[in-house]
Amino acid sequence: MIIMKYNSGMTFIEILIAALIVAIVMASIFSSLNFTSKYAQSSANKTMALNFAEAKMETIKSQSYANIISANFPADAVNLYLSSGTNIIANRTVGITAYTNYKAVSVTVSWTWQGKNYSEVLNTIIGNH
């Protein structure tokens, strides 16, 4: 007579291995979500900085050619409001270089976020018509 055993359940080792695999997968997912969140916030900061640079550039471009000089556009501070509710003070500077028939204009917005320095620069050339 042959006696057959049926093992239809899981052993303790199999359960531990399955739990370890699930834990590794969950840790990877949470890590990627954290990275994605930081990257999205960094992109939002850069977009805000470029908007402030664009606003200053439009102000400069609305001036007459003779009035586009560095003394008329001193450095100023702007507030970058983050979605997390944090307020970052950024510095906005204007650089103007005059050439024979045009001026090269550069607007830079720089700030520090999470211990790192960032800056966004917007450049244009304005001709003397």
Let me know how many helices (H) and strands (E) the chain has, helices first.
1, 4
Is 73 within a domain? yes
Is 98 within a domain? yes
Give me the domain span that covers residue 107. Answer: 12-127
Is 26 within a domain? yes
Q: Is the confidence at residue 97, as pLDDT, over 70?
A: yes
Is 7 within a domain? no
Q: Which two tokens stand for residue 114?
A: 């999470």
pLDDT of amino acid 71: 93
Please state, for a pLDDT cut of 90, what percent of the chain lies above it.
50
Is 89 within a domain? yes
What is the rounded distance in angstroms from the CA atom of residue 68 to the CA atom of residue 103?
Answer: 8
Structure confidence by residue, pLDDT tens digits, 51-69: 999 999 999 999 999 999 9
State the average pLDDT for the chain: 87
Number of domains in the chain: 1
